[in-house]
Chain A
Amino acid sequence: MDFATLIQILDSTVRLATPLLFACLAGLFSERAGVFDIGLEGKMLAAAFLSGAVAAVTGNVWLGMFAGIGASLLMAAIHGLASITFRGNQLISGVAINFLAAGLTVLLGQNWFGLGGRTPALTSGGRFEPIILPFAEAMAPVPVLGPIYSELISGHSFPVYLAWAMVPATAWLLYRTRFGLRLRAVGENPAAVDTAGVSVTAIRYAAVAICGVLCGLAGAYLATGLAAGFGKDMTAGRGFIALAALIFAKWRPWYALGACLLFGFLEAVGNRFPNIDLGLIVLPAQFMQALPYILTVVILAGFVGKAIPPRAGGEPYVKER
């Protein structure tokens, strides 16, 4: 494998890791506040659909993005209502949201566009354009550093840079602000937060809403950045890979970046080399697809550093009377 191929694979890694990173950070906010979310997939799917649809109709990618965030927030609201207000089972609510999105996107897509659930292909204004960083052209001929700067770092679209910026932003919000401290406390010991006179419900709703916005960005990037339009079931398990990355990252923002890049890299390598010949054995493409899930199970099993979820995760908070 030569240097140019490596750059291409890494470039593709960055792009494929972006939706994972958004969704993973989304799950991080929700789960750190004690609300399990296996509905990341559904929220991304709903957002991808509506952003694709709105971008196709208006020809404006930004309107599409905001519509996608709106769709995702609506799903998040259902999840919040079920798991915070009505103290329902958060896992079951997540399952319901995944199916709701899977069904509604095709139902509405077929009704609006008649393309079997797809949205019309997006033309230039409806997609996120690559942003060429300054001096990218001039740097290109420089050996090694040139391709790294002009191809790997420059030339991605807005959501990619936003996703990377979200990592330090999340770390700062969680570990350096009062809101972040309260959010983490709500996920570990909600009764203590309640005793301190802070509303557990409000913090959890805020976390679920942030989760909705980030999933919306993930979905919008899928439909208007990675692809040119929405396709039926286009998230294809990415929400669950993000969930896997979240566990892999042990619910920490910087680790999340690493985990998402790893899983993005696996996907990029799998796309480029369907079957990997290791000399003794040939790794089939299906193995590469299953690898993120296998790694997550191994991590969950605690053989390679135990992943301990937030202590109050999954428990509805019942105020003492």
Chain B
Amino acid sequence: MTAMPKWADAVLVPLISLLIAFVISGLVILAIGENPMEAMRIMVSGALGSTYGWGYTLYYATNFIFTGLAVSVAFHAGLFNIGGEGQAGVGGLGVALACLYIPWPHWSLALAAALVASAVFGAAWAAIPAWLQAKRGSHIVITTIMFNFIASALLVYVLVNILRPTGSMDASSARFAEHLRLPRLNEILALVGIPFNNRNPANISFLLGLVACVAVWVLMWRTRLGYELRAFGKSEKAAVYAGISPVKITMAAMLISGALAGMMAVNTVMGEAQRLILNSVEGAGFIGIAVALMGRSHPFGVLLAALLFGFLYQGGAELALWTKIPRELIVVIQALVILFTGALDNMVRRPVETLFLMARKGR
């Protein structure tokens, strides 16, 4: 017998966890002598009070949609892909190579190529840990952590020694051709007559993120592979008994996961910086973990959680601008969200379950 109705499991428990995380964050703000209410007001007005703020919120959210989906797909197969950071970084290398070395006539072709390149590069970076897990039983969490560090060393090397234009002191690639600039969200919205601020990096990648959400939903709940992934994640033994190959599923889950993480780079590298810079991922790969946990690994939940973290990111930047609270407050909130929705899930869940059981008995 399940103790709780489905809605409580999917909505109530994460919301309570989020509330606890926010209350503790408020106490932290109080402890450093600032006003939590005022901080919240600045964050809301900074991130959601103007289309400028919305632009940044959606730009950050786009990153988190991709990395959140990446972690979710692996979660469904019972794998913890902590390597989104490295996969997204290497995906960025794919985007840069596709945009720099092929003279595309139009941005739409370049976008398609960049998508494919980022997905292939990201998937390739996930492939080695996946293969080691599937064939050699090496723990995927440890190998993906190691691959994050290897990726960051590799990217520094490639940027400094290969992609950096001669004479430039900056460890970054050359700028992509101007006509490869992706359409910004304000240009797209202008087509349907909605005015939107034009000084923010939100671009067409946000729409791609929405498409990715739908695609992952179709994959997970409407295809045979998705069914096999979920079955494998629920019970490896039962899945093997049903004729599902562990090697195939581990590889498939991690390749899809790596590809999704890699595609994040289209937003940052092609959509915003228009060149590959050092540390272009900026921790978004790790935020994907919080987003996936918060969104209960469901694409719709991931979308909402990504928007929430996009809001926190932009709000946090405004907070750092207007108050003495540094941006790292967001890292604390992120940690608390991971802690309460992930590791301390049972602490929140058990009392709620007990309440539901009591209510049922009383009836």
- Of the listed stretches B143-151, B227-235, B301-309, chain A binds B143-151
Find out whether the CB atom of B153 lies under 8 angstroms from the CB atom of A92: no
Find out whether the CB atom of A89 lies under 8 angstroms from the CB atom of B335: no
Interface residue? B212 (CB, 8 A):
no
Tell me the complex Cα distance, A284–B154, Å.
10
> B331 — which chain A residues lie within 8 A by C-beta?
99, 102-103, 106
**Among the interface residues A38, A99, A106, A117, which one has the most CB atoms of the partner chain B within 10 A?**
A99
Smallest Cβ distance from B330 to chain A, in angstroms? 7
**Among the interface residues A91, A243, A287, which one has the most CB atoms of the partner chain B within 10 A?**
A91
Query: 0/1 per residue, B130-170, Cβ < 8 Å to A?
Result: 00100011110111011101100110110001000000000
Interface residue? A88 (CB, 8 A):
yes
Interface residue? A87 (CB, 8 A):
yes
Find out whether the CB atom of A301 lies under 8 angstroms from the CB atom of B132: yes
Chain B: number of interface residues, binned into ranges:
35 or more
Given the interface pairs A88-B342, A100-B332, the reply to whether A38 lies near B157 with Cβ below 8 Å is no
Given the interface pairs A92-B342, A102-B331, the reply to whether A300 lies near B153 with Cβ below 8 Å is no
Query: 0/1 per residue, A61-92, Cβ < 8 Å to B?
Result: 00000000000000000100111001111111
Beta-carbon contacts under 8 Å, A264-298 to B: 284, 286-287, 289-290, 293-294, 296-297
Tell me the complex Cα distance, A293–B143, Å.
9
Count: A-B pairs, CB below 8 Å: 151
**Cβ-closest chain A residue relative to B133:** A300
Given the interface pairs A92-B289, A99-B286, A286-B156, the reply to whether A107 lies near B329 with Cβ below 8 Å is yes
Interchain CB contact (< 8 A) of B153 among A98, A110, A247, A287: A287
Find out whether the CB atom of A100 lies under 8 angstroms from the CB atom of B161: no
**Cβ-closest chain B residue relative to A81:** B344
Smallest Cβ distance from B102 to chain A, in angstroms? 27
Interface residue? B358 (CB, 8 A):
no
Beta-carbon contacts under 8 Å, B77-99 to A: 80, 82
> A107 — which chain B residues lie within 8 A by C-beta?
28, 32, 325-326, 328-329, 332
Tell me the complex Cα distance, A287–B149, Å.
11
Given the interface pairs A96-B343, A237-B149, A287-B157, the reply to whether A297 lies near B143 with Cβ below 8 Å is yes
> B243 — which chain A residues lie within 8 A by C-beta?
none
**Cβ-closest chain B residue relative to A106:** B328
> B328 — which chain A residues lie within 8 A by C-beta?
102-104, 106-107, 110, 117
Tell me the complex Cα distance, A244–B289, Å.
22
Interface residue? B16 (CB, 8 A):
no
Find out whether the CB atom of B329 lies under 8 angstroms from the CB atom of A111: no
Find out whether the CB atom of A300 lies under 8 angstroms from the CB atom of B334: no
Query: 0/1 per residue, B321-363, Cβ < 8 Å to A?
Result: 0001110111111111011001111110000000000000000
Find out whether the CB atom of B161 lies under 8 angstroms from the CB atom of A284: yes
Find out whether the CB atom of A89 lies under 8 angstroms from the CB atom of B326: no
Smallest Cβ distance from B263 to chain A, in angstroms? 22
**Cβ-closest chain B residue relative to A90:** B343
> A81 — which chain B residues lie within 8 A by C-beta?
344, 347
Interchain CB contact (< 8 A) of B339 among A82, A102, A110, A287: A82
Tell me the dominant secondary structure on chain B's binding face.
helix
Find out whether the CB atom of A103 lies under 8 angstroms from the CB atom of B335: yes
Find out whether the CB atom of B145 lies under 8 angstroms from the CB atom of A240: yes
Given the interface pairs A102-B331, A284-B157, A286-B156, the reply to whether A301 lies near B150 with Cβ below 8 Å is no
Tell me the complex Cα distance, A99–B329, Å.
11
> A120 — which chain B residues lie within 8 A by C-beta?
none
Smallest Cβ distance from A293 to chain B, in angstroms? 4
Smallest Cβ distance from A274 to chain B, in angstroms? 12
Query: 0/1 per residue, A281-321, Cβ < 8 Å to B?
Result: 00010110110011011001110000001000000000000
Tell me the complex Cα distance, A302–B136, Å.
7
Interface residue? A191 (CB, 8 A):
no
Interchain CB contact (< 8 A) of B334 among A86, A103, A293, A294: A103
Find out whether the CB atom of B334 lies under 8 angstroms from the CB atom of A290: no
**Cβ-closest chain B residue relative to A308:** B137
Beta-carbon contacts under 8 Å, A227-257 to B: 237, 240, 243-244, 247
Find out whether the CB atom of A286 lies under 8 angstroms from the CB atom of B28: no
Smallest Cβ distance from A303 to chain B, in angstroms? 8
Interface residue? A136 (CB, 8 A):
no
> A83 — which chain B residues lie within 8 A by C-beta?
343
Smallest Cβ distance from B61 to chain A, in angstroms? 19
> B128 — which chain A residues lie within 8 A by C-beta?
297
> A97 — which chain B residues lie within 8 A by C-beta?
335, 339
Find out whether the CB atom of A82 lies under 8 angstroms from the CB atom of B344: yes
> B339 — which chain A residues lie within 8 A by C-beta?
78, 82, 93, 96-97, 100
Interface residue? B33 (CB, 8 A):
yes
**Cβ-closest chain A residue relative to B34:** A111
Smallest Cβ distance from A319 to chain B, in angstroms? 15
Given the interface pairs A95-B286, A244-B146, A300-B139, the reply to whether A89 lies near B343 with Cβ below 8 Å is yes
Beta-carbon contacts under 8 Å, B24-50 to A: 28, 32-33
Interface residue? B293 (CB, 8 A):
yes
> B138 — which chain A residues lie within 8 A by C-beta?
297, 300-302
Find out whether the CB atom of B136 lies under 8 angstroms from the CB atom of A301: yes
Find out whether the CB atom of B136 lies under 8 angstroms from the CB atom of A111: no
Smallest Cβ distance from A72 to chain B, in angstroms? 16
Find out whether the CB atom of B146 lies under 8 angstroms from the CB atom of A293: yes
Interface residue? A206 (CB, 8 A):
no
Interchain CB contact (< 8 A) of A240 among B149, B156, B286: B149
Interface residue? A108 (CB, 8 A):
yes
> A294 — which chain B residues lie within 8 A by C-beta?
146, 150
Q: List 14 A-B contacts (CB under 8 A).
A: A86-B346, A91-B80, A95-B289, A95-B342, A99-B331, A99-B338, A100-B339, A103-B334, A107-B325, A107-B332, A290-B154, A294-B146, A297-B147, A300-B143
Q: Which B residues form the contact surface with A (CB < 8 A)?
A: 28, 32-33, 80, 82, 128-129, 132, 136-139, 141-143, 145-147, 149-150, 153-154, 156-157, 161, 286, 289, 293, 324-326, 328-336, 338-339, 342-347
Supplied contacts A103-B334, A107-B28, A240-B146, 12 more A-B pairs, CB within 8 Å: A88-B342, A88-B344, A92-B343, A96-B338, A97-B339, A102-B328, A103-B329, A237-B149, A244-B142, A290-B150, A297-B129, A300-B136
